[in-house]
């Protein structure tokens, strides 16, 4: 039985469930790499230049873990999504990096996704099985899982809400996001993320958002606009070396200043310490509490 590996990084946190169901329905064995830990990260650091952002380093580590266990690694090349919006140069290039890294150890399945998400998956399935009806059936059964976004369950009592503004591959990765989420929760906050919002809000192209041609940055910016007057504070998590974030993060922090919403920018890389982040979050929660007393209308 052919084993297909899916690295638990980057796009896994949005399409992972869909992919798992799709390939299982086709009758393949799925191997998902374990959650990110220090060893995996260190493996990844060997293969990419030090300037590249943390999520890409992490996915290289996952590929390294998978490459000797499986026959093929599934790593689609996301070029364009949502009608001509780009992902990011590194997401496009990661397949080439992976190809260089893996060599002949296993195959890389990388359908090119250029506004044709379903078609690309159909072609991959067809290439693997050669049976179009089986592929369509598998796709049909997997489609419901596309809209399964990971969400945080919030408590019932009315606590102050904070917006954690970051890409899904940062926020839901155990190595990056877990500590930050825990810190905020232990400071007594409810956490809102962009995954709580409907697609209609995230994909809107009103105002400045229409100038942003990076699909995930547009989502972040729309979430920021939506929440900016509904939450007590905003925390933006940026991985060092992330190009799109360095620009849009700056624009958002300037606008947050205008709205007088407390805004915290956490820049993370492989050297970031848990303690340092905790200290900053505690200080930030102090600021929010002070700000909150002067603005009682910020309750849920």
Partner 1 sequence: MKVAFPYFGYDTIALKNFLEMLGAEVVLPPLPTERTLSLGTKYSPELICLPFKITLGNFIEALEAGADTLFMAAGARKCRFGYYHFIQETILKQIDNNVDFYPISQYTPFEFIFQKMPKIFSVSPARVMKSINFLLAHSRLIENFRKLVRQARVIDFTLASIHEKHALEIIADAINLMQIRKARKEIKALFNFADDLPENIIKVGLVGEIYLMLEPFANHDIEKELGKMGVLVLNNRSLYRHIKHLLHIDFDRIKLNHRAYKYLKESPGGEALNTVGEARTFIKNGVDGIIHIFPFTCMPENIALEALQKMSDDYSVPILSLSIDEHTSKIGLLTRLEAFIDILKRVKNQKAVSRVPRSSLLTPH
Contacts with partner 1, residue ranges (CB under 8 A): 48-49, 51-52, 77, 79, 86, 88-90, 92-93, 95-97, 100, 112, 208, 211-214, 238, 240-247, 249-251, 254, 267
* DSSP codes joined into one string, 88-140: -HHHHHHHHHHHHHHTTSSEEE--EEES-HHHHHHHHHHHHH--HHHHHHHHH
Torsion of CA 247, 252, 257, 262, to 10 degrees: -120
CB 195, CB 168: distance < 8 Å: yes
Distance set, CA 96 to CA 54, 89, 99, 251, 279 (Å): 17, 11, 5, 31, 39
Closest to partner 1 by CB, 209 or 281: 209
Give the nearest distance from C-beta 146 to partner 1 in angstroms.
23
Closest to partner 1 by CB, 11 or 86: 86
Closest to partner 1 by CB, 40 or 95: 95
Give the nearest distance from C-beta 60 to partner 1 in angstroms.
10
Give the nearest distance from C-beta 225 to partner 1 in angstroms.
15
Give the nearest distance from C-beta 249 to partner 1 in angstroms.
8
Closest to partner 1 by CB, 119 or 247: 247
Give the nearest distance from C-beta 138 to partner 1 in angstroms.
26
Strands 85-86 and 77-81: antiparallel
Closest to partner 1 by CB, 196 or 270: 270
Q: Which residue has the tokens 């699909």?
A: 215
């Amino acid at each position: 039985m052919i084993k297909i590996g899916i690295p638990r990084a980057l796009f896994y946190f949005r399409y992972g469930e869909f992919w798992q169901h799709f390939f299982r329905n086709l009758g393949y064995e799925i191997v998902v790499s374990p959650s990110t830990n220090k060893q995996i990260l260190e493996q990844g650091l060997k293969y990419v230049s030090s300037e590249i952002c943390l999520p890409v380093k992490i996915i290289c580590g996952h590929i390294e873990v998978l490459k000797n266990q499986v026959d093929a690694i599934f790593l689609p090349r996301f070029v364009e999504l949502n009608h001509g919006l780009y992902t990011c140069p590194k997401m496009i290039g990661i397949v080439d990096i992976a190809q260089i890294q893996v060599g002949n150890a296993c195959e890389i399945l990388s359908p090119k996704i250029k506004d044709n998400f379903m078609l690309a998956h159909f072609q991959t399935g067809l290439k693997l099985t050669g049976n179009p009806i089986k592929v369509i059936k598998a796709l049909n059964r997997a489609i419901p899982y596309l809209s399964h976004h990971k969400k945080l369950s919030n408590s019932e009592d009315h606590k102050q809400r904070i917006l954690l503004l970051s890409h899904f591959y940062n926020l839901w990765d155990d190595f990056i996001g877990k500590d930050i989420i825990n810190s905020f929760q232990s400071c007594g906050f409810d956490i809102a993320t962009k995954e709580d919002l409907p697609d209609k809000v995230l994909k809107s192209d009103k105002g400045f958002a229409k100038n942003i041609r990076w699909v995930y940055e547009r989502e972040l910016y729309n979430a920021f606009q939506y929440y900016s007057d509904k939450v007590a504070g905003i925390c933006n998590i940026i991985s060092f070396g992330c190009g799109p974030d360095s620009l849009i993060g700056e624009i958002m922090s300037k606008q947050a200043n205008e709205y007088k919403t407390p805004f915290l920018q956490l820049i993370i890389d492989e050297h970031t310490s848990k303690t340092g982040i905790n200290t900053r979050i505690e200080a930030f929660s102090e600021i929010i509490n002070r700000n909150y007393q002067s603005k009682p209308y910020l309750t849920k």
